[in-house]
Each structure stands twice: as structure tokens, then as C-alpha cells.
Amino acid sequence: MATPSHPLRSFALLVLLFCLVESAFGRGGFTADLIHRDSPSSPFHDPYITHSDRMRGAARRSISRAHRLWAGHSSNIQSEMTYSDGAYYMKVLIGSPPLETFLMVDTGSDLLWTQCEPCVKCYRQKPPIFNPRNSSTYKTVQCRTGLCKSLDGARCGGDDGRTCEYYYKYGDESFTSGDLAVETFRIGTPPGSTITLPRIAFGCGYDNGGVFDNTSSGIIGLGGSRPISLISQIEGAIGGQFGYCLVPEFGKGTSKICFGEDAVVSGRGAISTPIVSIGLDLYFVSLEGFSVGKTRFSYGDNSAGSEAKESNEVVKMLIDSGTSLTFMPSQLFDNLESAITKAIRLPRVPDPHGELDLCYRSPGGEIDVPVVTLHFAGRADMALNTVSTFVQFAEDLVCVTIKPMDKVGILGNFAQMGFKVGFDVRKKKVSFMATDCTAQ
């Protein structure tokens, strides 16, 4: 039988972990590259895929993720969370000696995990699979600990019956299963800013399957406030703050993700809106309406021809780094559709691939487009970049990267491009500021 942990011993372990993490990078935090799956800096970049093909791929993955995400509109929305194919990855070194791999960054889940040898069932991956037997810093987590109990479905197992065995399932039936363990992770952008995070809890998955692609070996879940999430584990050292700045997929430069003081969004042009809870530890905000040009529409208003009436109704919108397109409830989208079509004054044409809802015939791809502004709670008005809202999908076809969806919304990464986005889990707010992300 396992010996119960003494409260003072457990507290001392938490203090030690905090000191180790803080000493690694101090209060200033650290920064790492976010590698887009299709960017030239990605080791899996295919130079023969056209811009149109990349845009189509992003749209297909977004639609698949959104449909699975809210399938059935279950009251237990956590069970409907989905992995799908991610958009951004981080280069991570795991173990001692370190093994280089790539993990998908996801604000829509909270578990950090990677595939591990010996595999019972693993999907094919291009990076080498981590073997914990080769690492001197690998150690399994005991099943009676708070970390283990924070994972639904975890149980006691292993040769001694005391190892924490986890099972983490996504709404699209993708899953990872294995041992919960602690290990040394090295993250950052060299030279000079790579930091070492000792004793980070993660899932060492021996049985994994579903729709995972071969680009990465697992996921860095940045959502939630449960003890198991990476943000919670290093929360004290980073002040509960992280954020990113996404470079347009078709632009120059590299997107960045920051942890700690570097993630603070402040100054002229910065806006903030509260993170709201609907029974989940994910990043939802309240969308009150939108504007096309100078005409504003609120949720609950059905008139696309005049100034919208004030409404107390709001839409819960998930800020998701893993979805490219933005989705809004059909009632709002109907007004968006009418207002944009009226403003553009170009022939409306169907998307030949059936993926986008608002497409226009534009010779040469040039189009005079209005500014679309999202109005979030707290008077936070986010004017979207036109280059990522109206995208050329073919030589003479421009489409809007927003689609309708029932009940809730998703703020995808196209809409977040060109903004510094900061999450503050202590103050429960998210902030945005338009900026040149290539200069970050």
C-alpha cells in the first residue's frame, strides 16, 4: 500500500517546483517560435502546395473541428472538445539527454502529452518517438496525488499498482492513454532564450489514436486552470500570463508565443474583455455584436438595413488557436452576409468547393472591402485585418473567412493574425492590440 503524502511534504514539493521554474527564467518569462504547419520554416513544409491549396486545407480543417466541437450541443461541452488538425507547433526538447520533437499548440484543451515508447498503439509521426527509458529525469506520478486526481478517468496501475494511468478522450473520438509522469522540458527560441522547465507533469502516451496527423508527436494544451495544465504548473512563475502574436500565413516573419511579462498587452490601442465561464476551464468571451464599416449589429437584431437596436444578448465565443476560420451564430451571420454584400457591390458567387459561404467574383483578386469589427463585452472593439478576413482563394475569387454556426462562436486564428493576444488567468481577461507581429 502506498504511503499517504504528508501535507507539509506536498506543500514543500510545490514550493520547490515553483523555485526551480522561476529560477529558470525569472519574472520576465520566455518566448518561443510558433511554427505554422504550412510555413517555409516548418520542417514539414511542402513547397509544391499552392497558396489556394493551403487556404482550402485550413478551411476544411476548421469546418471539421467546428462541427465536431459542438456536435449535439451537449450540456457537457467538455466531452465535445476536439483535436482535429492543428495549425501551430512548438519545437520542444524532452528528457535527459534531450530529444527534439514538435507539439501542436492548442488553447482548446489542457493536457500536455506526447507519444512514448514502447507503443501499444501509436499513430505514425515524423519526429522520433520519446522513449522514457533513455531519460534520467523521467519519473511516473503516483495515483493518489492531486495531479492524478485532477484528470477524469485516471486510475491506479503499473507494475506496482501505484502509477497514475490516464485516459484523455476528445469529442471526435481521438484519444491518448498512458502514464502520467514528470519530465524536464526545454522550450524557447535560441540563441539565449531557451529555458529549462524541470518536473513538468505530462502524459506519456502508449496508446493513441484518432485524427492526429504525422506532423507532431502530441499536444501542448494551454487551456484551462486545472492543476494538470502547463499554464497552471508554471502559473506562479509567469504571473498567470501567456500570449502570442500570429504572423499572417502568407506573410513574412515567424509567429511568437510568450510566457510571463512579455505576454502583457498594454499601451495605446490595447483592449480587454473578461473571460467568461460556461462550466469549462477554456477561454470564452462575450460577443455583443459586430460592425461592417460604420453600421453596427447586435445579437437579437434582425434588421440588416438600419442601425441595430441595443440588445442585452451576447454570444459566447471560444478563442481557439487550432481553428483557422471564425464562426458566429446564424442570426448574426445573416446580417453580416447582407451588410458585406451591400458594401462590396461585386457579383456574389458560390464557392466551387462548397467550403466558404461568402465569396465574390473579383478580377485579379483586388477588392474594395469594408472593415469588420467585433464588439466584445467591456467596450472591447476588435477591428479585424482585412487581409485575413477577405482572402483570395483563386485568381478571381475572394472569400470571407467567417462562417455561420449554431448557438456559440469561435474566434479562429485568421481573425487573430496581426494582433498581440494576451491571456491573464489570474485576472480572468484576454487582451488584444493590433500590431506588426513580424517585428515582435
Q: What is d(CA 241, CA 31) in angstroms, rounded to the nearest whole number?
A: 12
Select the more confidently predicted residue: 164 or 300. 164
CA torsion 79-80-85-87 (nearest 10°) is -100
pLDDT single digits (tens) 339-393: 999 999 888 999 888 889 999 998 876 778 899 999 999 999 999 999 889 988 8
Per residue in 258-284, pLDDT (tens digit) is 999 989 999 999 999 999 975 566 899
Q: How far apart are CA 129 and CA 126, in angstroms?
A: 9
| Catalytic site residue from 33, 179, 320, 424 | 320
pLDDT tens for 140-154 read 999 999 999 988 889
**Cα–Cα distance, 119 to 302 (Å, whole number):** 55
As a whole number of angstroms, the distance between CA 277 and CA 235 comes to: 19
Amino acid at 189: T
Query: pLDDT band at residue 45, thresholds of 50, 70 and 90?
Result: low
* pLDDT value at residue 198: 95
d(CA 371, CA 128): 45
Lowest mean pLDDT of 11-20, 102-111, 179-188, 305-314, name the range.
Answer: 11-20
Cell numbers for 100, please give them. 527534439
Dihedral, CA of residue 121, residue 125, residue 131 and residue 136, to nearest 10 = -140
Q: What is the pLDDT of residue 41?
A: 60
- Per-residue pLDDT, 362: 86
Q: Full-prediction pTM beyond 0.95?
A: no
pLDDT at 303 over 80: no
49: confidence class by pLDDT, cuts 50, 70, 90: low
What's the pLDDT band for 70 if we cut at 50, 70, 90? low
User: Which domains does the chain carry?
Assistant: 8-37+85-259 (2.40.70.10), 268-435 (2.40.70.10)
CB 177 within 8 A of CB 167: yes
Q: Check if 320 is active-site.
A: yes
Is 106 known to be catalytic? yes
Cell numbers 502506498 correspond to what residue?
A: 2
Please tell me the least confidently modeled range out of 9-23, 142-156, 192-206, 328-342. Answer: 9-23
Is the Cβ–Cβ distance between 398 and 388 less than 8 Å? no
| pLDDT tens digits for range 52-64 | 666 766 666 666 6
Q: Is the pLDDT of residue 76 over 50?
A: no
Lowest mean pLDDT among 13-27, 33-47, 405-419: 13-27
pLDDT in tens, 380-438: 999 999 988 998 888 888 999 999 987 678 999 999 999 999 999 999 999 999 999 88
Is the model's pLDDT at 28 over the cut of 80? no
Between the CA of residue 11 and those of 6, 15, 16, 234, what are the distances in Å?
9, 6, 9, 15
C-alpha cell at 311: 440588445
DSSP single-letter state for residue 70: T
E strand or H helix that includes residue 391 = strand 390-394
What gap in Å lies between CA 78 and CA 169, rounded to an integer?
10
List the catalytic residue out of 33, 106, 172, 179. 106
Question: Looking at the DSSP assignment, which residues form a beta bridge with residue 328?
Answer: 404
SS3 12: helix
